[in-house]
Amino acid sequence: MTEYPISNKEYPIMKESRKFDLQERFIDYAVSIIKLSEKLPETKAGKHISSQILRSGTSPAANYGEAQSAESKADFIHKLKIALKELRETEIWLKIIVRSKMINCLDEISVIIKETDELISILFKCIETASKRKSVSD
């Protein structure tokens, strides 16, 4: 199985083509969330948080993919907003994991939190830009 780094700066294909592929970045993010969820303890709390973070942390990739096939600008914006909402929820779960000291891989989690923040910023800007374009074309 190929290991994909979280950051696009470290993503070899991105360096060669200089293409910014947000869909690939979301997929890499989902994979990092899956791997993190597998490290959570088999306690009641660990299982609950694992389930929640799996749902919220993997859905932005699918929602972003759906946005690429949106039926309208409004549908595109709506799907991006869902992905944004899920990222914000994931960030909360990540912070809960850190504060509760559920696992000892804080370096890994801090990298994921940083990527979450970056993806939130990117989606927020995409939504803002798409909303401006939508209002101009209405």
Structural domains in the chain, sorted by start: 8-137 (1.20.1440.60)
CB-CB contact of 60 with 83 (8 Å): yes
Average pLDDT over every residue of 83-100: 97
Q: What is the pLDDT of residue 119?
A: 98
Q: What is the pLDDT of residue 96?
A: 96
Choose among 99, 129, 93, 94: nearest CA to 114: 94
Choose among 15, 123, 34, 22: nearest CA to 76: 123
